[in-house]
Structures are given as C-alpha cells and as structure tokens.
C-alpha cells in the first residue's frame, strides 16, 4: 500500500507540474504549439466543464462526483497489491491520481488546465460534434486506469478466482 501511495504522489506531482508549466509558458491566445505534426499539439485551455467541456460551470456537481469517486477508489485501494494484483493496483493508483489532479485544479482555480491536443482525432470527433478535444495528464491517467481496470476484470480477476477456488478444493 505504501508503494501505491508513493505512486499516487509522484503521478499527482507530474500532473500538477505539467499543468503549471503549460499555464506559465503557453497562453490562451497562442495557437497550438506543434510538437509532433498531426499527432500532438500543446495549447493552454481552461476547462470549466467535464470531458469535452460538457456541463460547463457545474462545480458543485463535480465536487459531489469527485467525493463519491474518491470514496469508491479509496475502498478499492484497500485491495492494492503490486505483487499479486499488479494491473488492478496500477488502475486504482491511476484513478486516484487522475481524480485528485483535476480536483485540485477545480478547488484552487475553478477550472481544469488542459494542454494536450491530438489533431489526428479531430476528424473522428467532428462526426460526434466533439472537436477541439484537449486534456491533461490527469485525464490520461483516468483513461489508462479504465483500460487497465477492464483488462484486470476480464482477464486476470477470473484467473485469480480460479486459483482461489482450486486451492480450497
């Protein structure tokens, strides 16, 4: 559990550091700074909503959802074990770090700092009227956490249950 807490701290520090660097060196008026053409651009955005700027200025709702999410993730964190449940443990660490990263922004700034833009996704997102998608490291943590949690649930959890059931027989 100590390893999980340390990883959360490191990931949270990285998220906050990159957001503050984006705020310090990229302005709202700057066009996207091309890092990898057609793949990754950097641009400072203040997101007062959820993913894709949905639910603009619903800070009270975000606070309630964050408290509930952190309570659930905290409960799941009790099962973190990097020796036996590595994928599960990483997913929970990523969930907590991502949730806290964006919660800190909302609490301190009233908005979330986004700065990563993926132009290659614009065409696909335009089909759903969701263009101009920007995010940050906390959002990446949450996305990766979902993928790892699903992998653990569908592949590794069933194997762990079979081992436990087999050991009891």
Average pLDDT for residues 151-169, to the nearest whole number?
Answer: 72
Domain span holding position 157: 2-168
Q: Which of 31, 32, 22 is nearest to 101 (CA)?
A: 22
Percentage of the chain surpassing pLDDT 90? 57
- Interval 100-121: pLDDT, tens: 999 999 999 999 999 999 988 8
Report the sign of the C-alpha dihedral through residues 79, 73, 140, 106, in that order. Answer: negative
Is it the case that residue 139 has pLDDT exceeding 60? yes
In order, the DSSP letters of 84-138 are T-HHHHHHHHHHHHHHHHHHHHHHHHSSEEEEEE-GGGHHHHHTTT--S-EE-HH
Instruction: Name the residues annotated as catalytic.
Output: 114, 139
Is it the case that residue 37 has pLDDT exceeding 60? yes
Q: How many CB atoms lie within 10 A of CB 117?
A: 21
Of these ranges, 29-33, 45-49, 94-98, 126-130, the one predicted with the greatest mean pLDDT is: 94-98
Give the total number of structural domains in the chain. Answer: 1
pLDDT on residue 167: 53
Q: How far, in Å, CA of 19 to CA of 133, rounded?
A: 16
Q: How far, in Å, CA of 102 to CA of 31, rounded?
A: 24
In order, the DSSP letters of 34-75 are EEETTTEEEEEEEE-SSGGG-STT-HHHHHHHHHHHHHHHHH
pLDDT on residue 27: 81
């Amino acid at each position: 559990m100590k390893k999980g807490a340390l990883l959360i701290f490191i990931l949270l520090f990285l998220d906050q550091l990159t957001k503050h660097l984006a705020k310090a060196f990229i302005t709202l008026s700057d066009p996207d700074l091309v890092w990898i053409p057609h793949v990754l651009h950097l641009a400072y955005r203040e997101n007062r909503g959820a993913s894709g700027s949905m639910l603009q200025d619903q800070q009270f709702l975000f606070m309630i959802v964050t408290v509930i999410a952190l309570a659930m993730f905290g409960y799941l964190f009790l099962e973190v074990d990097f020796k036996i449940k590595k994928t599960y443990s990483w997913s929970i660490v990523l969930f907590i770090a991502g949730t806290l990263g964006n919660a800190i922004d909302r609490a301190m700034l009233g908005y979330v700092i986004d700065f990563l833009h993926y132009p290659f996704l614009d065409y696909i997102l335009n089909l759903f009227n969701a263009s101009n998608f920007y995010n940050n490291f906390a959002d990446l943590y949450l996305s990766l956490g979902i993928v790892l949690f699903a992998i653990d649930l569908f592949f590794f959890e069933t194997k762990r249950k079979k081992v436990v059931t087999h050991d009891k027989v």
